[in-house]
Amino acid sequence: MNKLLLSEKTSREFVSQLFMKIGACKEHADQVADHLTLAEMRGQASHGLNRIPFYAQKLQKGGYNIRPEMKILKETAGTALLDGDDALGVVSGTKAMELCIKKAKESGCAAVAVKNANHIGFLAYYTLMAAREGMIGLAICNSGASTAVSGTSKPVLGTDPFSIALPAHRHLPLVLDCATSVVAQGKVAVADREGKPIPGHWAYDEEGNPTTDAGKALAGTMRPFGDYKGSGIAIMISLICCCLTGMPFDMEEENQRRIHDATAGSALADLFIAIDISPYISLDSFTERVDQFIDIVKQNDLLPDTAKIYMPGEKEFDQMDCCRKTGGFEIGTNLYQKLQEISAFYGLEYDFTSWLLKT
Amino acid sequence: MNKLLLSEKTSREFVSQLFMKIGACKEHADQVADHLTLAEMRGQASHGLNRIPFYAQKLQKGGYNIRPEMKILKETAGTALLDGDDALGVVSGTKAMELCIKKAKESGCAAVAVKNANHIGFLAYYTLMAAREGMIGLAICNSGASTAVSGTSKPVLGTDPFSIALPAHRHLPLVLDCATSVVAQGKVAVADREGKPIPGHWAYDEEGNPTTDAGKALAGTMRPFGDYKGSGIAIMISLICCCLTGMPFDMEEENQRRIHDATAGSALADLFIAIDISPYISLDSFTERVDQFIDIVKQNDLLPDTAKIYMPGEKEFDQMDCCRKTGGFEIGTNLYQKLQEISAFYGLEYDFTSWLLKT
């Protein structure tokens, strides 16, 4: 059987061409291409090219805005409220973090909130932008309700993720990017498709009982990570994003409806924070100490069931290396067909046979 | 047997008088009294009056500085690096958050780091200062190594805590305040004193095996909460605090030595962040939505083993209510004697018999 293998370059070119054909300007199309391609290369396929069918549907039905007017609604030296204007989440997210970095360069520290946002992909993308500029980056966003508050089993919170990144010197930057559920819901979906059980602490069924049945878990509720601590983090993320921007909460009807309605924006909210390092200490001093920390931690003995001590984000960088060595990343045949249909719909002439690797 | 019961007022008066006698100005003595008393009232005795013997020893031997010169070493509109000058941690922490709030009022968002800091007590104290000013407050600090990085069993990280607070309207503010270990090490110490076992996921023994023996756990290492996610949070907290300020890492010899050496400051580091709400949305809009969120979550069905859905910080506010109703908080006889000795040493004439409640 043939394998479907995309190189980083092929993926970027295809995605960018497709989104330009849909109507995006080159800058925005390139941003989407960069984001989705990196997600695949990092091993986060759930945030990769398989998002395109959903994005395309929302764009076609008018829920997403391919030519958004993203206005700064309110602004101070260290803050801004940006109207995402139902842009593709990557586009408003990238603009918001760029603005945040610009402001942090001037006043040292900045926080930019986005309203009328859509799914923004993986958060490490944005916090790494700050790390590349010699800053500490933070990003949080809300999502659709899927996860319980500690002590209950009803979906009240999204998997509302957070990311923190900071630069190193010899080493790659450190970047933490976590859902506040025990695992991302996508992992339950994978287990369900494969007919495999899930660990009993991942999710509840519809009656509120812990379950190892992936199908029942999908109909039920995800558990927050770290019990009341992860639950508390998710509550704070949800409140900060939604209350600063006036967007509906994860469990409110408006959120649920607009995420699934192709004719409406998803009414989500994000917050980006950048803290410049040089106002405190020279960037070299900071990054050399980060290197030393990594070196010290790596010297530790491993637990019996552990193959390697991973620093935050290292697994994803390893995966990128691996993809570059093997020539790219694989995608499934369903997605392959879907992408051909979408390309045909928008009149993109593209030779998909180059993705077929004879094995 | 007699009970030792201190009212909130008695505790504040005693602690303030004692620290003034030791040499603190009234402002600083009142800050320490406020902090330690609130810790007791909130049910966090490990951060309460039992800290006084340790503080007194460090003050007497010259490790702590009762008349600190806390200078702003570097400053921009939204940032500052404060030299804690080995002040009592509460004193430098309070000054840092006050400065952070002042800057956030001007530029919308601010982050203040403190070097040469000492143990700053419970972090909710500082983030609630921001919440009272209509801001979102964040605080993180490093500490002495006690906790493993996920995948190892050696103490590399402190219990490096974080706190986030935000204001509500009808409801009390929400405030999350968590150690990044599964539980605070103090809970293991309590189990050890009482000869009770601990849950197997709290800690490792010296050989790196999970243990239910509290004594072996104290000689060993605490586990991070939420596996690699909590471990990642602790790594980021440790790096941000130490690398921004040039302070030693939790596991470095200088950290270990200076925390325990009474003649030296503890060489710890803190970071405080304040984000003003009004640059994004009116404070009333924000806080009314927070109220609505709390009301929605509270309507959820409880899990079988759950008595009440607690919002972040609610348990501690409940405990304060309880203390106010019962007339105060209890302390142990060991601490009672120790406080009398310290008072005598510094020549404080104080009538301790008023603490004895005849039962």
Neighbours of A42 (CB within 10 A): 23
Mean per-residue pLDDT over chain A, rounded: 94
DSSP codes, A172-196: PPEEEEE-SBSS-HHHHHHHHHHT-
pLDDT at B273: 98
User: Confidence band (pLDDT; 50, 70, 90) for B1?
Assistant: low
- CA B178 → CA A123, B141, B224, B346, distances in Å? 23, 11, 11, 35
Q: Indicate the burial class of A359 (C-beta count within 10 angstroms; 0-12, 13-18, 19 or more).
A: exposed
Q: Strand A203-204 vs strand A221-222: parallel, antiparallel, or unpaired?
A: antiparallel
Listed by number, the residues of chain A in 3-62 with a beta carbon closer than 8 Å to a beta carbon of chain B are none
Q: How far apart are CA A129 and CA A120, in angstroms?
A: 14
Contacts of A295 in chain B (CB under 8 A): none
Alpha carbon distances (Å) from B357 to B5, B6, B14, B16, B352: 6, 9, 17, 22, 11
Q: What pTM does this model have?
A: 0.96
Give, rounded to a whole angstrom, the gap between the first and last alpha carbons of chain B.
Answer: 7
Angle between helices A52-60 and A8-22 (to 10 degrees): 10
Q: In what order do the strands lie in the sheet with B221-222?
A: B155-157, B147-148, B221-222, B203-204
What's the token pair of residue B338? 């120790």
For tokens 């302390």, the residue is B331
Output the six-digit token pair for B55: 């503080």
Give mean pLDDT, residues B179-200.
88
Write the DSSP assignment of A106-164 as a string of letters: HHSEEEEEEEEE-----THHHHHHHHHTTEEEEEEE---S-EEPTT--SEEE----EEE
Residues within 8 A of A (CB atoms), B 91-120 only: 104, 106-111, 113
Find residue A329's DSSP bridge partners: A6
Look at residue A154 in the predicted model and tell me its pLDDT: 85
pLDDT, mean of residues B220-233: 92
Whole-angstrom distance, CA of residue A329 vs CA of residue A314: 18
- Describe chain B by its helix, strand, coil percentages, rounded to 5: 45, 20, 35
Do you know the residue count of chain A?
359
Please compute the mean of the pLDDT values over residues B324-353 and round it to a whole number. Answer: 95
Task: Quote ipTM for the complex.
Answer: 0.96
Query: CA A64, CA A58: separation in Å to the nearest integer?
Result: 5
Which residues of chain B have a CB within 8 Å of the CB of A256? none
Q: Nearest-CA distance from B148 to chain A in Å?
A: 10
Say yes or no: A248 contacts chain B, CB-CB below 8 A.
Answer: no
Confidence at residue A303, expressed as pLDDT on a 0 to 100 scale: 79
Least reliable range by pLDDT among A63-67, B109-113, B185-189 = B185-189
- The residue-averaged pLDDT of B179-189 equals 87
Does A229 lie at the interface with B, CB-CB under 8 angstroms?
yes
Low-confidence stretches of chain A (pLDDT beneath 50): none
The helix (H) or strand (E) run that includes residue B6 is: strand B3-6
- Chain A contact for B285, CB < 8 A? yes
**pLDDT tens profile A189-227:** 888 988 899 999 999 998 888 999 999 999 999 999 998
